[in-house]
Chain A
Amino acid sequence: MLVLALDTATPTVTAGVVEVPPDRSAGITIRAVRATHDARKHGELLLPGALAACAEAGIALADLDAVVVGIGPGPFTGLRIGMVTAAALGDALDLPVHGVCSLDAIAADTDGVDGPLIVATDARRREVYWAAYAGDARIAGPHVEAPASLVARIPELGAVAAAGACAGGTGLRVVSPESPGPGGLVACAADAVRAGGRPGPLEPLYLRRPDAVAPGPRKPARTG
């Protein structure tokens, strides 16, 4: 099965074509990847990247069997571009669209970590998005917190390594990757892709409420 993987939850704009064999014991194959690091150009880069990945894989959009997309957490404006692109492609091509926590996708792409893992990415405003993993399971998060709050949790989580662009702030051994890749994204949804069902609507992991304050009592206009 051919899967288009998209993620815009980090400054990296990721698009890739991944092949998922029907047999669970066979590994997935990355057929093509377009990943560009530019936090301000998610909207410009994503769809051309997806088309270029399809071209490199020698397929048309119509050949796809599913779409997998990172649902964050991530800075909102960029995150929405990946999600609405995935939703619209799925709708137009009549394909199932599977949402995957973007931190889970990073964790799935790490290698050689012998013990619990922290994934931490940039949430701006001096905070990080983070989650903790043991084996294949997420054991904490996703949260958005100050790096110090995450660091304070590390002993209790028993983490031995960290991935994601903010991994360096944990004081743990840093492992790659920094951002979600097509392999990790699709690995997190491979069972659902094989099952072939129709997932529910995508729900973004914003983790923060919108910045908006209801106005207080009206200030008098200056007179005189």
Chain B
Amino acid sequence: MTGRRGTIVLGIETSCDETGVGVVSLDDAGGVELLADEIASSVDEHARFGGVVPEVASRAHLQAMVPAVHRALATAGVRPGDVAAVAVTAGPGLAGALLVGVAAAKAYAAAWDVPLYGVNHLAAHVAVDTLQHGPLPPCLALLVSGGHSSLLDVPDLAGPVTPLGATIDDAAGEAFDKVARLLGLPFPGGPHIDRVGRDGDPAAIAFPRGLTGPRDAAFDFSFSGLKTAVARHVEGLQRAGIPVPVADVAASFQEAVVDVLTAKAVRAARERGAETMVLGGGVAANSRLRALAQQRCAAAGIVLRVPRPRLCTDNGAMVAALGAHLLAGGAQPSPLDLPADSSMPVTEVLVG
């Protein structure tokens, strides 16, 4: 340990297209502090394909892994010998991509002779909030990204987590990407829809709210029908030779997504008696989602916690944060024959 620093935990994340390495410090009271958050992204290599290509992502992870660990340790100002534990995303995610991070994490843990924690990516999205807002009370988490759209009941970061609902087709971020493409906006679509939609009328077009009927699953999501409705609307205009009001379409689509997400999340929080809600995942960077979640949580007397955008997207710091909480809670480390599990259930926070 260096100076007054606490216990150092290194986290590795490779579940999708970001090679993330984070370093956090855990103090005696269980608090965590962010020391480094290095990210190498292959997003530009995927742009021309309109989505993440698993093999391209995996190749980039192999190239980026060791340099990212170097940069993270240098930024954190810790020597390799100071690292007390290594945490890694064991799943869910792209199998080939996960394997690169898991293999690297095992090698670092074995070489440094420190415990290894193979953790759940979704639980890490929740844990990251403690780096910005401190200890987390029992909460309801809404995680939305290009890969996931989940509502989770999280009584404790060390688990177990109860999944309340998830998307039954496209992830919310995927819908943003597809609609962006439809509107001629670049990949990834989320930030562009957000930007363009600011000049549009969110009530201009009444796009459908998926799975909101009285007989539908209360906490599941569906964005496939919405995406199709936007496509039909745009094509209808194009056939009629009417210019597409891109800002209105973007704003109305975005409103349909965030309306359903926030309504269901607030309802879930009320039903489970959660007084705190955490937003996470890349789509949590969406300004309209933040605003509507804030408004509806305030009305329902729920404290909303949204980490800054950099912590919402996939990164190594979130994995290090969860690893630190598990270490503090005395969790049993994962074995060195830890597999990567592309469909790891969220009920499993740590691979035992």
Contact = CB atoms under 8 A, between A and B. Distances in A.
A89 to B, nearest CB: 5
Interface in A168-194: none
Is the contact region of chain B dominated by helix, strand, or loop, or is it mixed? helix
Interface in B169-203: 181-182
A76 B96 contact: yes
Interface string B104-142: 111110111000000000000000000000000000000
A218 interface: yes
Nearest to A208: B55
Interface string A190-224: 00000000000100101000111111001011010
B143 interface: no
B204 interface: no
Given A48-B337, A204-B62, A218-B182, A84 B55 contact: no
B338 A93 contact: no
Interface string B35-50: 0000000000000111
Nearest to A213: B49
Contacts of B55: 76, 210-212
Size range of the chain B interface in the assembly: 35 or more
B56 to A, nearest CB: 5
B49 A93 contact: no
A218 B181 contact: yes
B69 interface: yes
Contacts of B318: none
Given A80-B62, A87-B65, A43 B99 contact: yes
Interface string A70-108: 000000110011011111110111000000000000000
B235 A223 contact: yes
Contacts of B107: 47, 84-86, 88-89, 92
Given A44-B338, A76-B55, A87-B66, A93 B111 contact: yes
A215 B50 contact: yes
A45 interface: yes
Interface in A18-33: none
Interface in B89-112: 95-96, 99-100, 102-108, 110-112
Main secondary structure of the interface of A (DSSP, over half): helix
A123 to B, nearest CB: 15
Given A47-B103, A77-B58, A210-B59, A221 B232 contact: yes
B56 A88 contact: no
Contacts of A50: 110
Given A91-B70, A215-B49, A43 B62 contact: no
A51 interface: yes
A196 B297 CA distance: 62
B332 interface: no
A120 B236 CA distance: 56
B252 to A, nearest CB: 17
Contacts of B182: 218
Q: Which of B48, B49, B99, B112 has the most CB of A within 10 A?
A: B99
B340 interface: yes
A46 interface: yes
A80 B80 CA distance: 23
Nearest to A81: B103
A137 interface: no
A220 B106 contact: no
B78 interface: no
Nearest to B83: A92
A18 to B, nearest CB: 18
Contacts of A221: 228, 231-232, 235
Given A91-B66, A92-B111, A46 B103 contact: yes
A84 B67 CA distance: 12
Contacts of B336: 47-48, 51
Interface of B: 48-50, 53, 55-56, 58-59, 61-63, 65-66, 69-70, 80, 95-96, 99-100, 102-108, 110-112, 181-182, 228, 231-232, 235-236, 336-340
Which 8 residue pairs of A and B lie closest in terms of their CB atoms, listed nearest first? Answer: A92-B111, A88-B107, A221-B231, A210-B55, A212-B53, A88-B104, A47-B106, A44-B337
Given A47-B107, A204-B59, A213-B49, 11 more contacts: A50-B110, A76-B58, A81-B103, A84-B103, A85-B106, A88-B111, A89-B110, A92-B108, A92-B111, A204-B62, A218-B181
30 contacts: A44-B337, A44-B338, A47-B110, A47-B336, A50-B110, A51-B110, A77-B58, A77-B99, A80-B99, A84-B66, A85-B103, A87-B65, A87-B66, A88-B66, A88-B107, A91-B66, A91-B70, A92-B80, A92-B107, A92-B108, A92-B111, A204-B59, A206-B59, A210-B55, A210-B56, A211-B53, A211-B55, A212-B56, A218-B181, A223-B235
